[in-house]
Amino acid sequence: MKELIRELSPYLLTKLMSEGGDYGEIFYERTFSTFLKIEGERIEKAAEGYDEGVGIRLIKERKNLLWLHK
């Protein structure tokens, strides 16, 4: 996914900015999370995993015109 974003970003940013934006960005994000549910002195549930996605933002006159993140 990261390579696809890197390849398409110049085209997407050009299109975003041609719509009149002052600032545009496309970013890739991957995070790792750990979750623990503790009741009293016991661990009731534990989970961990990765979340991954792409964000696109277009700003004009200090307002977000487009904000997508998945």
Q: pLDDT of 14-67, one tens digit each? A: 887 887 888 888 888 899 999 999 999 999 999 999 998 888 888 888 877 666
pTM value? 0.57
Token pair listed for 16: 């975003």
Burial of 16 (0-12, 13-18, 19+ CB in 10 A): buried
Q: Using the 8-state DSSP alphabet, how is residue 21 labeled?
A: -
Q: Using the 8-state DSSP alphabet, how is residue 20 labeled?
A: T
